[in-house]
Amino acid sequence: MFEILVVEDDRDLSRTVCRFLNANGYHTTGCLDANSAYDALYETTFDLIISDIMMPEIDGFEFVKTVRSLNENIPILFMTARDDMAAKQRGYRVGVDDYMVKPIDLDELLLRIGALLRRAGIAASRKLTVGSFTMDMDERSATLGDNEIALTAREFSLLYKLLSYPKKTFTRTQLMDEFWDADSASGTRTVDVYMTKLRSKLADCTDFEIVTVHGLGYKAVLK
């Protein structure tokens, strides 16, 4: 059974989320602040963390930075009332994997947790395979059958992200925030250029396609 740590200072919301996840096959531990969460992390090996941002004493940003210094791979989801772009950018930069704005749709939360745990399984194996196409994170290599596909570091990272979450749409801004430096002068249309290059390099691949979601961004669709 997957162990999930819920760090939320709203006692009622914490209880609601924990009960819902427990009823759906997970085992949860609820903490009302970061210090209690640190104690829980020393006592239990968790598979995923859900954290608020605005908490007493230690906020979610500092909490995630500390967790990331100890564990680079555990999936972390922010569940917060902050819907501003600055908070989202800072969250992704300190190491969160997903971001949900309150009020939370519990069914959507369940879907996102499932996707994050699948992604964590891919990260643990360090390999991703879709049909005859394989990406090896350790070697930073991509192969289609017996043929290696030459990808730049950023092309590799973008494609690995899309294939790790099939059918999930990533906006251009999300991809820019994660894969370009904060002081980059590049605009979001730069993402379009990279996707065009990826499509060209993967023209012979019939196992998936990179689909444009008009007005939003991109997603990988498996065939």
Query: For residue range 51-62, what is the model confidence (pLDDT) as tens digits?
Result: 999 998 899 999
CA 81, 85, 88, 93 torsion: positive or negative? negative
Alpha-carbon gap, residue 168 to 110, rounded angstroms: 14
Q: Where are the beta strands (DSSP E) in the chain?
A: 3-7, 27-31, 48-51, 76-80, 98-101, 127-130, 133-136, 141-144, 147-149, 170-171, 208-213, 217-222
Quote the pLDDT of residue 182: 57
Pairing state between β 127-130 and 208-213: unpaired
Query: For residue range 162-184, what is the model confidence (pLDDT) as tens digits?
Result: 988 788 888 898 888 888 875 55
For residue 107, the SS3 value is helix
For the chain, what percent of residues have pLDDT higher than 70? 96
Quote the pLDDT of residue 123: 63
Quote the pLDDT of residue 67: 92
Paired residues of 51 in beta bridges: 7, 78
Residue 45 pLDDT greater than 90, yes or no: no
